[in-house]
Each structure stands twice: as structure tokens, then as C-alpha cells.
Structure 1
Amino acid sequence: MIKWIGAILGMVYMKWPGAILGFLLGSLIEVSLKGKRAKGGGSVFQDMFNQQKGQNVSMGDFELNLLTLCSVVIKSDGKVNQKELDYVRSYFVQAYGKERANATFKTFNEVIKNREIDSARICAYMRSRTTYEVRLQILHFLFGITQADGHISNAEVNELRNIAHHLQINQRDFESIQAMFVKSNDTSSAYKILEIDKTATDAEVKKAFRTMAKKYHPDKLESMDEAYKKGAQEKFLKVQEAYEKIQKERGL
């Protein structure tokens, strides 16, 4: 429809050359709009921002989406813990710098904090704009929040499972990252981190280690901020620790 409107307007003002130019420009606009719809529409927060008259919002949507998911996790156990808040603020300062982090928190408090949050829509927005490796790091960071107060509740794990589902993170990857934070006294968590069963052969254990080390290698997040690279290094070390624990148990 837009391309034909462009063609008509071009015909009126510039005859046939204008019609052709208007048709081409209209076609480009239609392709652009279709691309945005295919990615799940515009910003999750755009409607909220439009309602804030006189508000000059310049923050990136990624930070706001991430901070909003943090608030969902923090509130999931029915209370707001200061240690968890401090953990989030520290992470944002490390990832984006103090000035940008403060601006993100300010925008969140003014525009989003007291509104109903649709975590499924937020995850859909982030999913369309991030790689799978980045989404794994997001989940790892969110698990870190729950551990900040020294206790991970069932309510928090259930909320994280819900977020992982919306981010389309598979069950084995979810259990692998969960095992990095929820430890057991035996080697059960080590096997879960490597995404294998205890019945796996020695050869399968070695193969699993190589696979997981490759998946969580920091180079996967080379284009991301330092905080994300640090998180990838933490996961990488957890994989190595899990493998060494199984090696010790099996005498490999």
C-alpha cells in the first residue's frame, strides 16, 4: 500500500520519474516495517515512554530490559533484598560505567518500576536481538543475583526457569547453569554442569568437557562489555572445576 501511495504522489509532483522514485521509496519503507514486525515490534518500553510527557529518554533498551528482568527476579521471593540490589548495581556499573548505569536506574525508577511487567514480552524482545551465547550469560547473571544474599529460594529458581523458557534456553543448559550455583555434596552438580548423566563413559565425559568448554569460552562474547566477558570466564572455570571433580572421582 505504501509503495502505491508513493507512486501516486510522485506522479502528481514529478510525473513518471517521480512515480518510479515514489514506488521504490515506498517499497523500501514497507520492507523496513515488515522487518520490525518480524522481530516482535518496537521497544518493549516505547508505549511507556510515549506516556511520559516531556521525558527525554536516551537510554538503550537492552539495559532497561535487563534491569527489568532483574527486578522480576529480585521480587520473585516476595521481598526485596539489599544485597541483591547492590549486586545488580555493581554489575551495571562494571558493564556500562557509573554514569550510564545511574541513568538506567533513574529511567527505570521514573518510568517502569511501578508498572506491570510482561516478562514474556521482554524476553521475546531480547531474544530477537541477542545470540544464544549472550542469553546464556544473561541467565548466569540472573542466577548470580539470587545467590547474592547467600540463599536461592524455590520461588527464585521457578522464576528463572520461566525466564529461561521465554528466552528459549533449553532445559539442559538451564540445569547446567543452575548447578553452578546450587551445589550438591557429591558430584551430581558436576555432571549436570557438563550436561551428562553419571552413567556416561570416560570418553563421553571428555567429549562433554570439550563441548561445554567451547560453548562457554569467553571468545563467544568478544563483542560484549567486560562484565559479560567476566561472566563467561566464570562459567568456563566452573566447567573446568566440574571436569576435574569427575576426573578425581574416576581416577582419570
Structure 2
Amino acid sequence: MAFTKFGKWIGGGLGWALGGPIGGILGFVFGSMFDSMQSGEYEQKGFTPTQEGDFKVSLLVMIAAIMKADGKILKSELSYVKQFMLRQFGEQESERLLLLLREILRQELNVDEICEQIQENMEYPSRLQLVHFLFGVASSDGEAHAAEAEVLQRMCLHMGIRQSDFESIKAMFIRDTGSAYRILEISPEASDEEVKKAYRKMALKYHPDKVAHLGDEVQHAAKEKFQQLNAAYNEIKQQRGFN
């Protein structure tokens, strides 16, 4: 695999993802170029902020885990992922990501350990954005299937994602009559004041500035998530007739 395509990540765009199970996967992909890190020369010392490369590699590993979950990888799935990557990251970056994804798909993945590494190292708002991306991938064919949602729920459990946050993001992709309320993490019986309070809380949680350190592409995607929150709030306001 052409290492030069990933020089930016390895040279300065990766931090904690160089170690642990994700680092082990990268070691298999890049071979001897990662030998020093796998032999112990790389040592993570305390908590370090998630870098852009950490996030993208984590996303690729989790996408691979979803694609491998049913024991077979379909060309149609890869096509959906390609379109998703192109839409989110642009032509040049999506090409690099897909090259790396194809290599990761060849590896054995211990999903629980990978998720636990992400929980231990990635900030909570970044983990929420990761889950939003994964639901986007799962619904790239037009809908997020129940089996994929179950896989995602297990991943979220091991990533330390609160159930209410999982249900909120899930409701953005699997819509029904109660979706708007689940996005705001409230019940339809909530008072108007409780709705307004919930929106303010969720607006703070999902604000795009929370993931600004992960790069423009990820922040742009976070803005889409924020817009979905606003749409849910506006839907409830329209139903109830308040401003």
C-alpha cells in the first residue's frame, strides 16, 4: 500500500490511534513502517486530545466492523460507503479513506476492544459525531436496517454512549411518529417548557464547535446533525403551536 498517501496522518495527524487495537490494525496495514510503534517505542502517556487522523481511522475501523458484521461484504455496500465518503470528505480525501478501508476489511477486528479504546481516548462529543457518521453509513442505501442498528447499539454500549443519546441519533435516521421527541430525548407528554429546556440542552451537546478540532469536514457534518435537531424542534413547535 502506498504509504505516502497517508504521510500527513502518520506524520502528525494521528495520536492515540497509533497504540492499542487500532494501532495493531494499522500495523498490519502498513507493515514494517509501524514495527517500532508495535514494539513499544510508541507509548501513550495520559489523555491526549483526539486528532483528525484518530477520528478518521476510528471511523474506518467501525465502518469495516459494520460491513463485516453479517459475515459477507457486498459490492453494493462498498458502493454506498464510497458515495458516503465522497459526500462527506470530498474526492481526494475519500479516495485515501477508501484505500485504507479496503485494507482494514482484510483484518480480523475485535470490535469490543476497539470500541473500548475509543471510549478511553475520544472525547464524548466526538464519539457522538462518530455514531452519527456510522448511522449515515448504515442508511446510505436509503434506510438503516434493524440488524445494523443492533450492531451499532452494541458498539455504542462499549464506547460508553448513553442510551438516550443513541436513541436520539438513531431517531434522526429511523423516522416514525415519535422521532422528533426522541431526538430531543424527551417524551411526547413533556410540557412546552420542558421541550424548550430539552432543546437548549441538546443544542449545547450537538453544537458543531464541539468537534471543530477534528477538521472542517467533520465540523460540516456536525452542522448537519445540528440541523436535524433544529428540524425536530421546529416540528414539535409546529405541532403544538408555540414559538
Task: Report the TM-score, using the length of structure 1 for normalisation.
Answer: 0.72
Q: Deviations over 1:7-38 (max 9, x none)?
A: xxxxxxxxxxxxxxxxxxxxxxxxxxxxxxxx
- Matched residue, 2:56: 63
Secondary structure of 1:223 counterpart: helix
State the structure with more CA Rg: 1
Q: 1:83 to 1:41 in 2, by over 3 A?
A: closer
Secondary structure of 1:195 counterpart: coil
Question: Which of 41, 44, 48 is the matching residue for 2:21?
Answer: 44
Aligned residue pairs, count:
212
Contact 1:96 1:225 in 2 (8 A): no
- Matched residue, 1:124: 116
Alignment of 1:150-165 (within 5 A): 150-165=142-157
Which amino acid in 2 is paired with 1:247? K
| Distance in 2 separating the partners of 1:93 and 1:52 | 22
Which amino acid in 1 is paired with 2:20? S
| Distance in 2 separating the partners of 1:126 and 1:146 | 20
**Does residue 76 in structure 1 map to residue 59 in structure 2?**
no
Contact 2:88 2:221 in 1 (8 A): no
Contact 1:49 1:55 in 2 (8 A): no
**Does residue 228 in structure 1 map to residue 221 in structure 2?**
no
Q: Deviations over 1:180-205 (max 9, x none)?
A: 00111x3x100000000111111100
Task: Report the TM-score, using the length of structure 2 for normalisation.
Answer: 0.74
Q: 1:127 to 1:133 in 2, by over 3 A?
A: same
Task: Provide the identity percentage.
Answer: 37
Q: What root-mean-square deviation, in Å, do the aligned CA atoms of Structure 1 and Structure 2 show?
A: 3.1
Structure 1 residue 244: Cα displacement: 1.1
- Matched residue, 1:138: 130
Q: 1:83 to 1:206 in 2, by over 3 A?
A: farther
Question: Which of 107, 112, 131 is the matching residue for 1:115?
Answer: 107
Unaligned runs of 5+ in 1: 1-38
Contact 2:115 2:158 in 1 (8 A): yes
Q: 1:233 to 1:240 in 2, by over 3 A?
A: same
